[in-house]
Structure 1
């Protein structure tokens, strides 16, 4: 009799232990996952991308600005006729049917289908009234002055996650400052999946990107680039660069390099052209540095315009090296004006 009692007791204890273990698993171990699944059935998190900061010239004209575009997304779990959605969207999007089919086959609540969609295309897609399809407002970069100051500005491309990111130039160096912080809100939905506008909760406050105001003079920049291109074509040079600095402040008034590229169509150019040679390349100043040396000597009263050069009559030995003129011609006892 006792062994039967013990047998039943152990069976009941085992059953209770299994039940407690399963309750612990679902309520403790998997609690966060279950909460996410439940939340996804009546709410969704919407991320609002910040407006990227503008880059302006010294007169306040936008070198780089933004236009409104749209991101097309889908919820594959609620799309009933995926073939219909694929056939209709492929007409308006750059993606082929195979790519759209792969995206809509994912076991996700949200997938990105296409970015940088203009307002006209958005309205045409909305007329189709496709279930499970939606749009998010985003900003696309525009360059009103086309390729002007391209090396200085850089461009905005995509990172590995498909998010906007600045590369090269000011867009790359000040990317975090220009990018800002995205805003997140929770949108509550009713039983039919329709948003309840009065039940939107902000969970992350975002800020738009900061603007950059440069010392660049737009008119001088245009003249410099025009003259630089003309000179390179006239003399058959492969490249060239010009920089103009305000000697009182050290601010750059113009900075141009050639060959250049178009920031809005950067994908059509080789990566080597993106680097700003004025900053990235090593360059031996040579004779172009002589006026600075002469100016410093005159300012320090070490020489005068009439001072004679007593070492200009031939090659000069310095530190075991012999320095010569480019054509091996020398002029003895010339003054600083002739030098």
Structure 2
């Protein structure tokens, strides 16, 4: 049957229509690929015919306030394998395993992966890098990375922190300022064939990394060394569990030194327990004990519920809501001024002050001084402390007055003390001073910031005078510095663990122009645990070295002819004690009955005027005070020496006959109860 023209035309139209539809679909598909998916496909294609080697930026250097290096970065090699280019994987794995100290099977698995490149080992030392280069294995290359070093090892470890394998900050200042220190990575881009092998004449493109900024801290490397050295000595001497020393400029809030023990070496931080990484000066909390009395006293003076000369009678205890709160001194301190209440660290006196202040006002001052809240320091993991005003009743208010029932961080306490030294201005503490580039240009400078005024300037001056008297005439005698006026307060807080204590001392100098504030804390010292005996000597030495280093000239001493340092007559026969005091030009007043001096006031080492009266408290039977102070037995008979040692809780081992000429341990040594004292006797002609 012949095909008509109409049929042909219809077929042609249909063919044309199908062709148009097909071409339209292809055009739309091409438009979709080019316009909508073009950028994505271009990236995929680029990835297929190129390979990238990352180039790590150099991490910024961390300096102390005087430009001395604390953390630096150095260039090291990282070994990279290009699996498609390796001709004999088994031989390569065997040779590399011996140099890289890696398992041969692990290396073989890595270099046979279907990938363009893989890391074999990162940041190796130069000797290993030279050995691998000598092998000349095709498909094994290197990229330059940056490795962090801390040249002073443990020095300021808790301030600096540490970084990870990718040079990312993981702790401390390294973590807090990571985005400024880290910089931006670069890369090397080269063309490859279908098997990811680099083309011999392919194009290469280098995008340089942008190095990180350098960071200047407020920390002074020399002062940091003073603090670390003295804390280490005290930790060993008193066998303390932990310890902290914080040094601050009270005028600005700058942290000059921050030490925690035990510490770690940030070069090898993984070799230390994670607990040792924690910056306890900023994150941990503890009951401050008597050091918190400076807050109570400041609030009372500011609210004018007391004056420095207000008199108070301490009978040895006070009763609040049926609860007896005792004084550390048996029998109390009797009649004393408020200044003496602070000097003597008299608990009943502070309870009376807190009751006069009232809960609302006292809580307001505690909040104003920054407790129960973070200070805003530029450091990760800062603690808030524990302070809940809603749970404060009459008894809690009483114990709060002498630092029980509240937990603070060491940083909070030193910041508050610095406010008292700084005319009542509470400063925000900070550690970073400047961000600078490699040319020394200052990119950003961190400046002091006043948070608020907590007390008036006049109250600040009154408190400074009172705290200075604590050092010259009170419990802080071991912090006394000849030629410098020192203000401070001791603290001994009993932990909830029976028989465990936290001893501390906080203060500043020179009292007439405060430039340095220091807090020393010893956690669970063994044997003697009073803050005035354990922490104050650390404070004294760190403060002395720091003031000399800063060029603070000691003041010329006034005529000291009428000034006397109170001798230690504790554990002496009463007749001997009186004789020693008379020879020193001091009067005495005896309380109690017995043969031996159990306590004395003012404390040994206190500077007093000639003719001052020293109060002596006697005991009849044995004392249970531990550790006991070994008495001087020179010139005593065996019977007398035995009686004296028995009273203070020690035993005697007599060698020879006659009168005592020598002894072990030596007089003044601290000894546990029931320790045997070896006494040597000799007949005299």
Normalization by structure 1: what TM-score? 0.81
The residue that corresponds to 2:68 in the other structure is: 61
The residue that corresponds to 1:118 in the other structure is: 125
2:137 aligns with one of 88, 111, 130: 130
The residue that corresponds to 2:507 in the other structure is: none
The residue that corresponds to 1:88 in the other structure is: 95
Deviates more, 1:149-158 or 1:289-298: 289-298
For the residues of structure 1 that align with 2:133 and 2:284, how far apart are their CA atoms? 50
Tell me if structure 2 keeps the 8 A contact 1:48–1:182.
yes
Is 1:141 matched with 2:145? no
The residue that corresponds to 1:43 in the other structure is: 50
For the residues of structure 2 that align with 1:290 and 1:107, how far apart are their CA atoms? 70
Over aligned residue pairs, what C-alpha RMSD do you find? Answer: 3.6
- Report the Cα offset of residue 98 of structure 1: 1.4
The residue that corresponds to 1:223 in the other structure is: 226
The residue that corresponds to 2:199 in the other structure is: 193
Tell me if structure 2 keeps the 8 A contact 1:149–1:256.
yes
Is 1:77 matched with 2:84? yes
Tell me if structure 1 keeps the 8 A contact 2:315–2:334.
yes
Once the two structures are superposed, residues 129-153 of structure 1 have per-residue CA deviations (whole angstroms, 9 ceiling, x without a partner) of 2122211111111111111111111
How does 1:1-339 map onto structure 2 within 5 Å?
35=42, 38-40=45-47, 42-158=49-165, 163-188=166-191, 193-194=199-200, 199-200=204-205, 202=207, 206-291=209-294, 293-294=296-297, 303-304=307-308, 307-310=309-312, 312-317=314-319, 322-326=324-328, 329-335=331-337, 336-337=339-340, 338-339=343-344
- Larger relative contact order (CA 8 Å, sep ≥ 6): 1
Change (3 A) 1:37 1:94: farther
- Report the Cα offset of residue 196 of structure 1: 5.8
Tell me if structure 1 keeps the 8 A contact 2:146–2:167.
no
For the residues of structure 2 that align with 1:319 and 1:75, how far apart are their CA atoms? 80
Can you give the 5+ residue segments of structure 1 that lack an aligned partner in the other structure?
none
For the residues of structure 2 that align with 1:115 and 1:126, how far apart are their CA atoms? 15
Change (3 A) 1:333 1:100: same
Change (3 A) 1:101 1:328: farther
For the residues of structure 2 that align with 1:194 and 1:300, how far apart are their CA atoms? 84
Number of aligned pairs? Answer: 330
For the residues of structure 1 that align with 2:106 and 2:217, how far apart are their CA atoms? 43
For the residues of structure 1 that align with 2:289 and 2:68, how far apart are their CA atoms? 37
SS at match of 1:164: coil
Tell me if structure 1 keeps the 8 A contact 2:227–2:257.
yes
Once the two structures are superposed, residues 285-324 of structure 1 have per-residue CA deviations (whole angstroms, 9 ceiling, x without a partner) of 11123346556767888533xx244153343455786543
Once the two structures are superposed, residues 254-296 of structure 1 have per-residue CA deviations (whole angstroms, 9 ceiling, x without a partner) of 1101111111111111111111111111111111233465567
* Rg larger for: 2
- Report the Cα offset of residue 23 of structure 1: 7.9
Can you give the 5+ residue segments of structure 2 that lack an aligned partner in the other structure?
345-685
Tell me if structure 1 keeps the 8 A contact 2:313–2:336.
no
SS at match of 1:333: strand
- Report the Cα offset of residue 119 of structure 1: 2.3
